[in-house]
Amino acid sequence: MLTPTFLERDDKDNMMQQRRRNAFVSRLGTLLALLTAVPIWAGPSPVSTDSTTDKPGEIVQSAAFSAPPGATGWKVLYRSTGLKGESIVVSGLVFAPSAPPPPEGRRVIAWAHPTTGVSEPCAPSLFPKALERIPSLADLLQRGFVVVATDYPGLGTPGPHPYLIGVSEGRAVLDSVRAARSLPGSGAGSRYAVWGHSQGGHAALFTGQLAQGYAPELTLVGVAAIAPATDLEQLLKDDIDERVGRVLASMALVSWGRVYDSSVDAILNPPARSIVKRVAKDCVEDVREGYKVALDSWTLTPRFLSKEVYTEEPWSRIIAENKPGQAPAGAPVYVFQGMADKCVRPEVTTAFVEGLCTRGERVEYDTLIDGDHMTAGIKSAEAAAGWMSDRFEGKPPPSTCRK
pLDDT for 187-204, tens place per residue?
999 999 999 999 999 999
In this structure, are residues 371 and 337 in contact, taking their beta carbons and an 8 Å threshold?
A: yes
In this structure, are residues 191 and 108 in contact, taking their beta carbons and an 8 Å threshold?
A: yes
Residue 46 covered by a domain: no
Using DSSP bridges, classify how beta strands 106-112 and 87-97 pair: parallel, antiparallel or unpaired: unpaired
Phi, psi angles (nearest 5°) of residue 112: -115, 120
Query: Could you tell me where the DSSP H helices lie in 183-269?
Result: 199-214, 232-239, 243-259
Q: How far apart are CA 264 and CA 273, in angstroms?
A: 8
* Same domain, yes or no: 254 and 381: no
Q: What pLDDT, on the 0 to 100 scale, is given for residue 2?
A: 24
* Same domain, yes or no: 214 and 66: yes
Q: How far apart are CA 123 and CA 137, in angstroms?
A: 18
Q: What residues have CB less than 8 Å from 5, skipping those under 6 apart?
A: none
* Same domain, yes or no: 131 and 186: yes
* Same domain, yes or no: 157 and 238: no
403 residues of the chain, pLDDT tens digit each: 222 222 122 334 444 444 444 444 444 444 444 343 333 223 334 444 444 578 999 999 999 999 999 999 999 999 999 999 999 999 999 999 999 999 999 999 999 999 999 999 999 999 877 888 899 999 999 999 999 999 999 999 998 999 999 999 999 999 999 999 999 999 999 999 999 999 999 999 999 999 999 999 999 999 999 999 999 999 999 988 888 899 999 999 999 999 999 999 999 999 999 999 999 999 986 566 666 777 878 888 888 999 889 899 999 999 999 999 999 999 999 999 999 999 999 999 999 999 999 999 999 999 999 999 989 999 999 999 999 999 999 999 999 998 6
How many CA atoms lie less than 13 Å away from 258 in the CB half-sphere?
Answer: 18
* Same domain, yes or no: 225 and 253: no
- In this prediction the pTM is 0.87
Q: At what angle do helices 166-182 and 199-214 cross, to 10 degrees?
A: 70
Q: How far apart are CA 40 and CA 286, in angstroms?
A: 6
Q: What is the pLDDT of residues 4-58, one digit of tens each?
A: 222 122 334 444 444 444 444 444 444 444 343 333 223 334 444 444 578 999 9
Phi, psi angles (nearest 5°) of residue 180: -60, -40
* Same domain, yes or no: 307 and 350: no
Q: In terms of residue numbers, what domain contains 296?
A: 28-37+232-319
Q: How far apart are CA 175 and CA 58, in angstroms?
A: 8
* Same domain, yes or no: 252 and 201: no
Q: What pLDDT, on the 0 to 100 scale, is given for residue 280?
A: 93
Q: What pLDDT, on the 0 to 100 scale, is given for residue 16?
A: 46
Q: How far apart are CA 2 and CA 294, in angstroms?
A: 12
Residue 348 covered by a domain: yes
In this structure, are residues 222 and 333 in contact, taking their beta carbons and an 8 Å threshold?
A: yes
Q: What is the pLDDT of residues 60-100, one digit of tens each?
A: 999 999 999 999 999 999 999 999 999 999 999 999 999 99
> Which of 319, 347, 377 is the C-terminal boundary of a domain?
319
Domain count of the chain? 2
* Same domain, yes or no: 284 and 358: no
Q: What pLDDT, on the 0 to 100 scale, is given for residue 285?
A: 66
The CATH number of whichever domain residue 92 belongs to comes to 3.40.50.1820
Q: How far apart are CA 114 and CA 202, in angstroms?
A: 9
In this structure, are residues 116 and 196 in contact, taking their beta carbons and an 8 Å threshold?
A: no
Exposed, middle or buried: residue 351 (CB in 10 Å: 0-12, 13-18, 19+)? Answer: middle
Residue 400 covered by a domain: no
Residue 20 covered by a domain: no
The CA angle 272-154-295, to the nearest 5 degrees, is 35
Q: What pLDDT, on the 0 to 100 scale, is given for residue 290?
A: 65
Q: How far apart are CA 203 and CA 186, in angstroms?
A: 23
Q: Is 19 helix (H, G, I), strand (E, B) or coil?
A: helix
E-state strands within 151-227? 188-197, 219-226
Q: What pLDDT, on the 0 to 100 scale, is given for residue 247?
A: 93
Q: How far apart are CA 374 and CA 368, in angstroms?
A: 13
* Same domain, yes or no: 81 and 222: yes
> Which of 301, 319, 337 is the C-terminal boundary of a domain?
319
**Which residues is 117 bridged to in the sheet?**
283
Exposed, middle or buried: residue 217 (CB in 10 Å: 0-12, 13-18, 19+)? Answer: exposed
- DSSP 8-state class, residue 375: T
What's the helix, strand, coil split of the chain in %, to 5? 40, 20, 40
> Which of 319, 341, 359 is the C-terminal boundary of a domain?
319
Q: Using CA atoms in the order 369, 375, 377, 380, what is the torsion angle rounded to 10 degrees?
A: -40
Residue 4 covered by a domain: no
Would you call the peptide bond into 314 cis, given omega within 30 degrees of 0 as the criterion? yes
* Same domain, yes or no: 352 and 221: yes
Q: What pLDDT, on the 0 to 100 scale, is given for residue 243?
A: 86
Phi, psi angles (nearest 5°) of residue 228: -75, 150
